[in-house]
Amino acid sequence: MSDQILKAKQVAEMLDVGLSTVYRAVEAGELPAIRIGAAIRIRREALEKFLSQQESRGLGAVNAAPGVVLS
């Protein structure tokens, strides 16, 4: 499998948001995730698509933490 899988905590750190913000996006169905028991995993591809959608909605860009490259 070539697609990178991220933990919710990693996504929160990359976006410089709280962990609860990531969980809310997942629960709202905005950010697709894989649930393994109580753990949530997010494909990097899904995160990039989510960010692209947020930017195209004009709701304000979601910025990654300084120095983080998502591509």
d(C-alpha 40, C-alpha 33), whole Å? 6
Q: pTM of the predicted model, to two decimals? A: 0.73
Residue 64 within a domain? no
The rounded mean pLDDT for the chain is 83
CATH code at 47? 1.10.1660
Q: Which residue has the tokens 């591809």?
A: 45
pLDDT-above-70 percentage for the chain: 77
In which domain, by residue range, is 31 found?
5-57
Res. 1 pLDDT band, cuts 50 70 90 = very low
pLDDT at 2: 54
pLDDT tens, residue by residue, 23-47 = 999 999 999 999 999 999 999 999 9
Residue 31 within a domain? yes
